[in-house]
Amino acid sequence: MLVQTQQLAFNGTHGWGPTLRLTLGRLYQIDVTNADIQEGTTVHWHGQRLLNASWADGAAGLTQGAIPPGGTFTYRFLAEPAGTHWYHSHMMGQFGDGLRGALVVTDPADPLKEFYDEDQHLMLLADVFNSSLAQQLASHQAGSAPMAMCAGMDISDAPFYAIEINGQSFTSTGRAAVFTVKQGKQYRYRTVGGMSSWALRVSVEGHNITLIALDGHPIAPAAATAFEVNSGERADFVLTADQPVANYWINVATLTGHNSPAILHYEGAPDPATDPAFSETSFTSNFGCLDTNQPGVVGVKQAAALKAGPNVPSPPQESSRQITLYLANAGSNLVPASFAESATLDSNAYGFSASSAETLPAAGSAVCPEARQGAYCWSMNWKVFQMPPQLPIYSAANNGSAIGTAADNAYTITLKQGEVVDLALINTGYMVHPMHLHGASFWVLAAGVGNILAPDGTINTTAAGYNLVDPAFRDMISVQTARITSDTTMVSRNGHDGMGTMLEASDVAGLNTSGTSQPMDSGSASTSAGGGHGGHGGGSPAPMQSPPNNFVAGPSNGGHGGHTPMVPISPDDLGYAVIRFRADNPGVWAFHCHIDLHSMSGMMMLFTVAPTVSTTNTSWYAPAGLQCTI
């Protein structure tokens, strides 16, 4: 039975939109036309700095209105930084439904060139579904969607159907992607984590690999047997074709073990299409829950151990501001008294104004702001993000003035241009959150599990153990989960036992409309976003003072089928990451979890970088016409 999985497309393409290959430092114009998406669309240039061009960031409702059906929006920006990036819709739910493509910015003076001979392989990863992201969110908010889990970890709150590599998988298209190499050469692979939910582990049968870049920025070469990639992340690795001429599996598996492999094909080996050892029935389809502590695997737990590579700038040695963000499901993670008390301080660690703090849930409570959300509303600091009624970019252009009380639920922190900011990200639950900052990259100063906060919520830098010498420079950080200890009693929701339980997809028919195809070139480009074609279907499927009270995760009342701790989680067991960035790019910049269901349901906030504007300094502005109407 053919099942439609892709519902939206750029230029009518299957799996991914056209690959954009740009040159570092060149100015580009890209015209995006909405062919037939009724709710409108936008395009975000994920990983691009967009200096003085916040208006071109593509964040719907924040930097522009949605492009209506038949409308065209012109994006214009300087291609920087170099590296492996991507573009995707920033209308909630749309990139998971198919609106995504690769964006590679090449540097003629590539500092990584010494590590490889060939740079021709893109590995574009995506999770695909037979239900839309909007349908999945509605199921969670109705309390009818369980969670995919392994022991001690919530893996995904999206249903599993298939994983595709470059638009191919045995499950959804009946064939695997093939990567051809010549024996004796070294190849650079550019991997893009275009998944909307599922984290993936990549390994190559019979080969070790060397990671050389993350999120487009060079890292010190890191040898690995496998690496993990979360939604939004990019990883460049070098593979040396030093094995006997043959075909080899490239295993791409969820952390629950579902494997959707590609094939590494040496020139001179049998054609994979006719090699019986590489058919859809000859690979390991399920490894079972993967060990996140396995030696040789580079993943979330190694984030702080990775070092900066060549030409990466050193971090500022001091910060001028510290901000703490708890990552929480506001519908089930109870507000600790220490947070509730410190949030009301005049100069609190969370960026709250007095009026904003008044809207927080009371200590010991957990509630979504809208009844329709059930108990499924992800947040930062228990602020469930809601889109402001007007585009905040216009307020930001007016000397960075506040958005206003009417948009108080649009969690916004105003920064002065040039400030150096430390963000402490504290994970209160058992799911990894891949966090993405628009408009800037950041240094990963610390990451791990432990208590790095003082009682007032500020960062204890000694406990965190900053790396101020050579930290990795990125635009994504996946924050580790809280730790389950021997005295943490666990149950799960919606009838699951919390031990390696898998959620499978239900049969829900997908939208089947047509898109249009238009050519692209390297100087200017035009792309059309529309409904996906009908041909995409397939076969079967750090110790310190303790705050006054511990963090508590509350009981379930539906909506989020994950682990439920029955005793308080000690602050010593919370996951964390600390990042540092320089707020030197004026504009409105989103910061959010890149799991689409999480950002859709509220895990988002804004940084407004107040520009220094005068009659003689007008380098940043918000052009008219950004507020499109449908």
Q: Are 400 and 611 in contact (CB under 8 A)?
A: yes
Q: Write the CA distances from 224 to 169, 211, 228, integer angstroms.
A: 25, 7, 10
Q: What is the distance between the alpha carbons of residues 372 and 140, in angstroms, rounded to a whole number?
A: 10
Residues 6+ apart with CB under 8 A from 93: 132, 133, 134, 137, 596, 600
Sign, CA torsion 135/141/146/149: positive
End-to-end alpha carbon distance in the chain: 37
Lowest mean pLDDT among 176-190, 199-213, 412-426, 526-540: 526-540
Q: What is the pLDDT of residues 349-383, one digit of tens each?
A: 999 987 777 778 888 888 898 888 888 999 999 99
Q: Phi, psi (5° rounding) for residue 598?
A: -75, -45
Q: Are 55 and 620 in contact (CB under 8 A)?
A: no
Confidence of residue 495 (pLDDT cuts 50, 70, 90): very low
Q: What's CA 593's distance to the chain center, in Å?
A: 6
Lowest mean pLDDT among 29-43, 249-263, 332-346, 455-469: 332-346
| C-beta neighbour count of 457 within 10 angstroms | 24
Q: Are 43 and 88 in contact (CB under 8 A)?
A: yes
Q: Phi, psi (5° rounding) for residue 274?
A: -120, 5
Q: What is the distance between the alpha carbons of residues 463 and 5, in angstroms, rounded to a whole number?
A: 46
Residue 266 buriedness (CB in 10 A; 0-12 / 13-18 / 19+): middle
Q: Write the CA distances from 235 to 83, 90, 199, 448, integer angstroms.
A: 10, 22, 13, 20
Q: Are 443 and 472 in contact (CB under 8 A)?
A: yes
Question: Is the per-residue pLDDT at 522 higher than 60?
Answer: no
The DSSP H or E segment spanning 393 is: helix 392-397
Q: Is 301 helix (H, G, I), strand (E, B) or coil?
A: helix
| C-beta neighbour count of 490 within 10 angstroms | 16
Lowest mean pLDDT among 164-168, 327-331, 601-605: 327-331
- Preceding omega of 81 cis (within 30 degrees of 0): yes
Helices (H), 451-581: 461-464
The rounded mean pLDDT for the chain is 84
Q: What is the pLDDT of residues 123-139, one digit of tens each?
A: 999 999 988 898 999 99
- Bridge partners of residue 203, in order along the sequence: 226, 251
Q: Write the CA distances from 170 to 253, 284, 502, 625, integer angstroms.
A: 13, 12, 20, 45
Residues 6+ apart with CB under 8 A from 96: 127, 129, 133, 158, 196, 197, 596
Residue with tokens 């408009």: 439
Sign, CA torsion 223/229/233/236: positive
- DSSP states of 316-372: PSS-SEEEEEEEEETTTEEPPHHHHHHTTSTT-TT---HHHHTTSPPTT----SSGG
Looking at residue 304, what is its pLDDT? Answer: 94
Residue with tokens 């110790």: 543
Q: Which token pair is 20?
A: 């954009």
- Bridge partners of residue 238, in order along the sequence: 188, 210
Q: Are 452 and 498 in contact (CB under 8 A)?
A: no
Looking at residue 502, what is its pLDDT? Answer: 31
Which value, in Å, is the radius of gyration of the alpha carbons in the chain? Answer: 23
Nearest to 186 by CA among 169, 167, 209: 209
| C-beta neighbour count of 567 within 10 angstroms | 13
Q: Are 92 and 196 in contact (CB under 8 A)?
A: no
Looking at residue 478, what is its pLDDT? Answer: 98
Q: What is the pLDDT of residues 268-318, one digit of tens each?
A: 999 999 999 999 999 999 999 999 889 999 999 999 999 999 999 999 999
Q: Which token pair is 286?
A: 């399920």
Question: Is the per-residue pLDDT at 520 higher than 70?
Answer: no
Q: Are 559 and 140 in contact (CB under 8 A)?
A: yes
Q: What is the distance between the alpha carbons of residues 246 and 181, in angstroms, rounded to a whole number?
A: 10
Nearest to 261 by CA among 177, 173, 161: 177
Q: What is the distance between the alpha carbons of residues 498 and 567, in angstroms, rounded to a whole number?
A: 16
| C-beta neighbour count of 505 within 10 angstroms | 18
Residue with tokens 């599990």: 449
Question: Is the per-residue pLDDT at 588 higher than 90?
Answer: yes
- Mean pLDDT score, 12-31: 95
Looking at residue 398, what is its pLDDT? Answer: 57
Q: What is the pLDDT of residues 415-429, one digit of tens each?
A: 999 999 999 999 999
